[in-house]
Amino acid sequence: MLPEAFLLRMEQQLMDEYPAYLESLERPRAVALRFNPLKTHQFPQLPFVKEPIPWAEYGYYYAPDARPGLHVWHEAGLYYLQEASAMAPVTLLDPQPGEIICDLCAAPGGKTTQIAAKMAGQGLLVCNEINPKRARILSRNIERMGVSNALVLNHHPSDLERHFEGVFDKILVDAPCSGEGMFRKEEAAVTDWSPETVDMCARRQQEILSTAAKLLRPGGRLVYSTCTFAPAEDEGAISEFLKLHPEFSIEVVDAPALSPGRPDLIEEPVPGLEHTFRLWPHHQHGEGHYAAVLRKAGDEESTLTASKAEKLPKEWLEFAKALDIHLPDGKPILFGSSLFWAPVELPELKGLKVLRPGLELGECKKGRFEPAHALALWLGECASMQDYAPESDEIAAYLHGNVVTSGEKGWCLVTAGGLSIGWGKGDGRVLKNHYPKGLRR
């Protein structure tokens, strides 16, 4: 049962299309996944994967009765389960390798890892989440998807202004919202909704957008998105922002698979709102979303000052040489007791609440190096590997934390159908299991 006030407003918004919208809510919702090119460009043929999503590279619908989250390749980071409409904002952001990009409201990580895939490990991706628990989930998803160039932060967005003003080439603001587009997917979105919630979200969105305006360099691109139908949070939010920030304008982007924005839904709209985008469940095969592409006037370089590189410890150098591991452009950083490989552009971290400053390599322990799970998921191959069939008893045993048979000695990269999933340490007969205890089935 949807809230009466919501249905009344939707009837006024949609008019003749309102019956089609109600009918769409009765259909089974579309389920989708996005393949990860950081893992491989040779995506296997999976029987549950169906037609491609027209607005998202690497995005596909899958059979609603399938359980792809239980497949070992999900653990390997081959794909991310992501709602189809939620893939549109990153397509509009158009990330490029080498850019400095911020995902300001990043958890749980679907859009962050989509940005990372487009960046191909080059440049700096700052992903921030205000909620500590959700920030940890974000960090785990970045690890699972093999992202090497992400700085994961846990801050209120406004806290970042003194560290990153004028820094970013592109910013995604996937704003906290009233969640009306998720009513079919999430029951909590229905029970938590009220007209007062819509007003509260609209105020919070202006605060976040104001911060994003300061963080973006002149000439940079800002994409704003929500998963709600509420005009106050969509066209209304963009109209209000542009009135307060005349240095920004709506950028015209070609996206024929998406529906145009609706300036007629608000009072005194700014020009150009028809060039923003809506995704309706009765028009597109997905849930409800809104997105707008904005450009900041000017053309200036980023003001980011990178931190100095540290020295790689001999324990890592010996380990990397033995397994023939070659790292991309970057720099080492000691973070606590762990060694990370950070993007060249990584700034000074003092004053920041950091969960992950790049790719975790592992720890030096009494003259030896113990590799991190993140390194295994990032690696495509190394000198010592043991591959098992994805549906094999050995892979099932490995995911449970048991030893598995192998003739390898020393540290060994365990792969499932050619995709890395973790570490083992062999004695020539079996591999001692180093799959993280918190991930074991």
Cα distance between residue 411 and residue 336, in whole Å: 23
Return d(Cα 328, Cα 209) in angstroms, integer. Answer: 34
Where would I find the H helices in 279-427? 314-323, 373-378, 393-399
What pLDDT was estimated at residue 342?
97
- Distance, in Å, from the CA atom of 371 to the CA atom of 330, rounded to the nearest integer, reads 18
Bridge partners, residue 61, by sequence: 32
Q: Residue 360, SS3?
A: strand
Question: Which residues are registered as beta bridge partners of 331?
Answer: 342
CA 283 to CA 266: how far, in whole Å? 21
d(CA 275, CA 268): 16
* Active site (annotated) includes residue 105: no
Q: Cα(276)–Cα(284) distance, rounded to whole angstroms?
A: 16
**Beta-strand (E) ranges in 311-367?**
331-335, 338-342, 354-356, 359-365
What is the radius of gyration, based on Cα positions, of the chain? Answer: 23
Partnered with residue 332 across adjacent β-strands are 341
Cβ neighbours, 10 Å, residue 287: 24
Contact present, 358 and 345 (Cβ < 8 Å):
no
Question: In 3D, which of 419, 387, 397, 318 has the Cα closest to residue 35?
Answer: 419
Q: What tens-digit pLDDT sequence spans the chain (441 residues)?
A: 899 999 999 999 999 999 999 999 999 899 999 999 999 999 999 999 999 999 999 999 999 999 999 999 999 999 999 999 999 999 999 999 999 999 999 999 999 999 999 999 999 999 999 999 999 999 999 999 999 999 999 999 999 999 999 999 999 999 999 999 999 888 888 999 999 999 999 999 999 999 999 999 999 999 999 999 999 999 999 999 999 999 999 999 999 999 999 999 999 999 999 999 999 999 999 999 999 999 999 999 998 999 998 899 999 999 999 999 999 999 999 998 899 999 999 999 999 999 999 999 999 998 899 999 999 999 999 999 999 999 999 999 999 999 999 999 999 999 999 999 999 999 999 999 999 999 999
Between strands 404-405 and 385-388, the pairing is unpaired
The dihedrals phi and psi of 344, each to the nearest 5 degrees, come to -55, -35
Helix, strand or coil, per DSSP, at residue 261: coil
Strands 168-174 and 100-103: parallel
**For residues 97 and 121, what is the distance between their CA atoms, to the nearest angstrom?**
7
CA gap 387, 424 in Å, rounded: 11
Question: Which of 127, 227, 364, 382 is labelled catalytic?
Answer: 227
Task: Give yes or no for a contact between 247 and 298, defined as CB atoms under 8 angstroms apart.
Answer: yes
**Model-level pTM greater than 0.95?**
yes
